[in-house]
A and B are shown apart, each in its own frame.
Chain A
Amino acid sequence: MSQAHEKQNPAFYAIIALLVFMSVGPVLLMFVNSFKLDVDIISGTTGLIFLPTIQNYETALCDILWYEPEHLDFCALKFGGAFINSLIIALISTLLTLVIGCMAAYALVRFRFMGRDTVSLTTLMVRMVPPAVLLVPVFGLWNNEFCLDRDGLIGGFIRDTFGGRGDVCLAGTHSGIILVYVAMNLPFVIWILQSFIVQVPRSLEEAARVDGAGPFQVFFKVVLPLIKPGLAAAAIFTFRIAWNEYLLASALSDRNTRTVPILIVNNMSEFNVEWGVIMATGMLLAIPPIIFTLFASRQIITGMTAGAVKG
């Protein structure tokens, strides 16, 4: 932008300041409150005059702290474990979605093959399926159909070797949740990446092929490096959904695979909400997306506009 910035009316800046305040205000409020004791939150000492404390964070993370916080005699909130679960699930599902989605998008853009139109239309259609619609079938399937039978071959083997009931279900495992997230995010990732792959000049790929590279080499060595911005955008959107999702995770997880959103909702529905601790957990859940936003807002915006403007 070499153009000089225009001088604007002061009222204009006032409007902008107001808008910034409105969009960031609630987040800041939560941030500030997460450092307050419940007494301070409820008594309503408005403003910034309070003694900041990390007690709420200590309560939330008590199961992975190396010391025992003084104000706690029992660690009720297993937030640390949930945080690790969330990280595992979100990272692995993002990675898988990207690799698989990228290959599919490339095939859809670059090759003419039988069934191409069907696949591309289906991808577009399943984009609109809400998680709530998947709830019932996924719950049923993951608990019943997608199980290793305890009398079956592998189930019997597991029972004899490791003991236990011998039936292994997808429900209650990390992989079960990851599988849904990958499937749920694939259509969107394929859609976004298509619009980036189209822009890669064909001549580059042909040059590589003339030099003797196979289709997989062309893909990994020529195309992938060129669509990095698209990959970044797709990665952020996938991570965001996998990290934030509540409904399907709550249906599929058990005590050991619970993710952070489930924990927050469970604590919210109790009669006496401990605002300070809840805000601290909320803040911890919000931090990764906030970091992404601050460092990669350009990619996010490109991804968003590529999705809609070229749709």
Chain B
Amino acid sequence: MRIAVANRLTPYLFMAPAVVIMAIALMYPLGYMIWGSFRDWSPSQTIGEAEFVGLKNYVTLWGDPNFWESLSVTLTFAFFVVTLEMLIGVGLALLLDRNIRGMSVLRTLFILPMMIAPVVVGLMWRYMYHPTVGTFNRMLDSLGLPTVDWLGNHALMSVIIADIWQWTPFIFILALAALQSLPRSALEAARIDGATAWQQIWHIKLPLMMPVLIVTGLLRLIDAFKVLEVILVMTEGGPGLSTEILALRISRTATEFRELGVAAAMSNYLLILLLALTLAMFAFTRLQEARAARIRAAVEEES
């Protein structure tokens, strides 16, 4: 009897530490933030002392052109980063999916950029983009070309390039893994039927890789909204607001402008956006599983 009770309790005992920690340091703070977003709250007050102002923070943000500017920078950044990384990453995977010596060494070197701290990545690129001592401008100069004001007029583009450098390998590795797990028989059949390399890629490889590619793209998209340190170190959101993505604006609103309520409301907007994306991803994987199960059932019925 005692053993039966102990067995029934086992899963709860295993879960308990994780649930407690996530409740204290993740769920409770999130609830606290939602509560705080309805208050006029400065860092020197406790939340109880802060005045309740209803939806004022949300309305203020809705009418704040700087918030919209920041949101549009975030969306532009996320869009270009994900699109370009997908194109380059998948392209490289298709190109390098060959049986060559030293592929594992190559993959090791490729994942190096994404293991390095974002702060350090920002630091490296800030040096390379430097108007006078930077690598790029020095190179352009020695070639006799006009120099480019990387972090000035073209700040957003430069930030996007740095992110592409850091995260394209992620897409590349996942796309390569997907490619190498494709059924060999389908490719073999296509080759025997005389399909050209392009036809194989376009009609067989890409459609078969699609599920993995979509999940990868969504993961990358969610991560693109988390980018902060690279941009903070490279441009500090400037010049003007041209690279101030939402995450950066939240942190500045909280620490520089000292308006925790507004920052909390802004965090909530960002959270809603991400929630929608996550739900899309979740729905997609569920759909995929259902479809796979249906196909499997159909195959079993036939045989």
Chains A and B come from one and the same complex: yes
Tell whether A60 is near chain B: CB-to-CB under 8 Å: no
Measured CA separation A219–B104 after assembly (Å): 33
Main secondary structure of the interface of B (DSSP, over half): helix
Q: Mark A61-82, 1 if CB is under 8 A from B, else 0.
A: 0000000000000000000000
Report the Cα distance A290→B32, complex, angstroms.
38
Contacts of B204-259 to chain A: CB distance below 8 A: 212, 215-216, 219, 222, 225-226, 228-229, 232-233, 236, 246-248, 250-251, 254-255
**Given A285-B119, A308-B215: A15 and B29 within 8 A (CB)?**
no
Q: Name the segment of B120-128, B146-154, B188-196 touching the other chain.
A: B120-128
A110 CA to B255 CA, complexed, in Å: 45
Smallest CB gap from A261: residue in B: B119
What mask results when residues 93 to 113 of chain A are scored 1 for a CB within 8 Å of chain B, else 0? 000000111011011101101
Quote the shortest CB–CB distance from B137 to chain A (angstroms). Answer: 10
Tally of chain A residues near chain B (CB < 8 A)? 100
Interface residue A33 (Cβ < 8 Å from any Cβ of B): yes
Report whether A183 and B99 are in contact in the complex, using a CB–CB cutoff of 8 Å: no
> Which residues 251-282 in A have Cβ within 8 Å of B in the complex?
251, 261, 264-265, 268-269, 275, 278-279, 282
Determine the chain A residues whose CB is within 8 A of the CB of B17 once the complex forms: 99-100, 103-104
Interface string of B1-39 (1 = CB under 8 A from A): 000001100111011011101101111111011001000
* A104 engages B14 (CB within 8 Å): yes
Interface bracket on B: 35 or more
Q: Are A129 and B119 in contact (CB under 8 A)?
A: no
Binds B, one of A151-159, A184-192, A225-233: A184-192
Residue of A15, A264, A292 near B119 (CB, 8 A) is A264
C-alpha gap A244/B230 in the complex (Å): 11
Task: Please state if A140 and B36 are interface contacts (CB–CB under 8 Å).
Answer: yes
Asked if B56 is an interface residue, CB under 8 A from chain A, the answer is no
The answer to whether the Cβ of B277 comes within 8 Å of any Cβ in the partner chain is: yes
Contact of A128 with B by CB under 8 A:
yes
B-chain residues with CB within 8 Å of residue A131 when the two chains form the complex: 226, 228, 247
Q: Are B215 and A311 in contact (CB under 8 A)?
A: yes
- In the complex, whether A215 has a CB less than 8 A from a CB of chain B is yes
Asked if B120 contacts A126 (CB within 8 A), the reply is no
Decide if B225 touches A111 in the complex (CB within 8 Å): no
Shortest distance in angstroms between B221's beta carbon and chain A's nearest beta carbon?
A: 10
Q: Which among B101, B124, B226 is the interface contact of A30 at CB below 8 angstroms? A: B124
Partner of B267, one of A5, A42, A44, A136: A136
Q: Which B residues have a C-beta under 8 Å from some C-beta of A?
A: 6-7, 10-12, 14-15, 17-19, 21-22, 24-30, 32-33, 36, 41, 43, 46-47, 92, 95-96, 98-101, 104, 106-113, 115-120, 122-128, 133, 135, 138, 142, 165, 169-170, 173-174, 177-178, 181, 212, 215-216, 219, 222, 225-226, 228-229, 232-233, 236, 246-248, 250-251, 254-255, 260, 263-264, 267, 270-271, 274-275, 277-278, 281-282, 285
- A: residues with CB less than 8 A from B are 1, 3, 5-6, 8, 12, 15-16, 19-20, 22-24, 26-27, 29-30, 33, 41-42, 44, 46, 99-101, 103-104, 106-108, 110-111, 113, 116, 119, 122-141, 144-145, 179-180, 182-184, 186-187, 190, 214-215, 219, 240, 243-244, 246-247, 251, 261, 264-265, 268-269, 275, 278-279, 282, 285-286, 289-290, 292-294, 297-298, 300-301, 304-305, 307-309, 311
The 6 lowest CB-CB distance pairs between A and B, nearest first, are: A183-B25, A132-B247, A107-B14, A104-B18, A137-B29, A244-B117
21 contacts between A and B (CB under 8 A): A22-B165, A23-B113, A33-B127, A41-B133, A42-B133, A46-B138, A103-B17, A111-B14, A116-B11, A122-B22, A132-B251, A133-B30, A136-B267, A137-B264, A139-B43, A179-B21, A186-B22, A244-B118, A286-B116, A308-B174, A309-B178
Known interface pairs A135-B254, A292-B115; 6 further A-B residue pairs with C-beta atoms within 8 A, sorted by A's residue number: A30-B127, A137-B30, A183-B21, A244-B229, A261-B119, A293-B108
